[in-house]
Amino acid sequence: MKTSSFSILLISAVSVWAETTLPLWTEGEMGPRVPTSEATQKRIAQGGPSKLGHESNITNPTLTIYPAEKPNGAAVIVCPGGGYWFLSTVNEGTGVCDWLNRLGVTAILLRYRTPTADESQPFNYPVQDLQRALGLVRHQAEQWKIDPHRVGVIGFSAGANLVGHASWDRTPRTYAQKPEVDLPRGPDFTIFVYGGGFMNDAKTAWREGFQVPADAPPAFFVVAHDDKTNPIEAAELYLAYKRQNLPAELHIYSRGGHGFGTHQTKFPVDSWTQRAAEWMETSGFLNPTAVKR
């Protein structure tokens, strides 16, 4: 008899305070994918996934829960980058989970489907994975000692594009199969690290059909000035928040390039985690009594 991912979550709930990896979907629940092209496979191989802490060819996405020693009830789903070719699961994954744990946050590493670079919309399946993850985390909130109103997301590069779509898109879901966990609700807060993909190629306007909605979650944007055009997108996204009087914070550091993640560059950008922690604290996400509903 097959055991569904939802059943496994229930079984694992009693032992979640040790690091636990759980499947998001059962066999047959995920839609068909475009076969990975030879060019994509060659590009992945050139990146040396095993040497750089990269992972790819993820066909069965998972959540790995990293509980904090002294949990404060907040939870953050971590979405590594990798251009939708691979996942940088160390620098932008487990390292981020360690930092969040030190803040008392339950960290949840999402290994979403990749590569999806050959799809017409490479973010489509990863967004489904993140939406599913949000529903599962909230459904298990009581067992995991999580406040379902303090479930945030953090994404890096392509992972930032992913959390942006989950935070700002308002299109209906087409995959929902378990109403009890596939809830139509986005994150409670968003940390967007050197992401892009929401503006046209000239960076003069939003892509067709995109806008920051009036109910967008509070957001923290961080990027380095020397990271090609990503600072333009971060600034425009922040301004879209400001024009609607939505809570947001923006940090553009002079140097740091792309992909700094949690490794030390010896530039001021290394302080971004401290700034993000302060933002979460002052926004009330680390302190349940201070959350503004």
Residue 25 per-residue DSSP state: -
Q: Give 114's strand partners.
A: 58
For residue 220, is it within any domain?
yes
- The predicted pLDDT at position 46 comes to 78
Give the number of other CB atoms < 10 A from CB of residue 246: 17
For residue 18, is it within any domain?
no
Closest CA to 82 of 49, 42, 107: 49
Q: Calculate the alpha carbon distances from 203 to 231, 232, 241 in Å.
A: 10, 7, 17
For residue 67, is it within any domain?
yes
What are the tokens at 286?
Answer: 């680390």
Give the span between the Cα atoms of 289 and 218, in whole angstroms: 17
For residue 28, is it within any domain?
no
State percent of the chain over pLDDT 70: 85
- The predicted pLDDT at position 176 comes to 61
Closest CA to 106 of 148, 130, 143, 76: 76
- Mean predicted lDDT score pLDDT of the chain: 89
Over the stretch 17-27, which tens digit does the pLDDT of each residue have?
A: 578 999 999 87
For residue 24, is it within any domain?
no
- The predicted pLDDT at position 48 comes to 58
Domain extent, residue 106, equals 58-287
For residue 51, is it within any domain?
no
Q: Is the pLDDT higher at 184 or at 214? A: 214
User: Where residue 234 sits, what CATH number does that domain have?
Assistant: 3.40.50.1820
- The predicted pLDDT at position 293 comes to 41
Tell me the pTM.
0.92
What residue ranges in 83-225 does DSSP mark as E strands? 87-88, 106-111, 151-156, 189-193, 219-224
222 pLDDT higher than 60:
yes
For residue 107, is it within any domain?
yes
* Number of domains observed in the structure of the chain: 1
Average confidence (pLDDT) over 149-178: 89
Average confidence (pLDDT) over 215-231: 98
For residue 149, is it within any domain?
yes
142 pLDDT higher than 60:
yes
12 pLDDT higher than 50:
no
Closest CA to 155 of 176, 120, 117, 186: 186
Over the stretch 25-75, which tens digit does the pLDDT of each residue have?
A: 987 678 788 888 999 888 888 765 555 688 999 999 999 999 999 999 999
Give the span between the Cα atoms of 284 and 47, in whole angstroms: 40
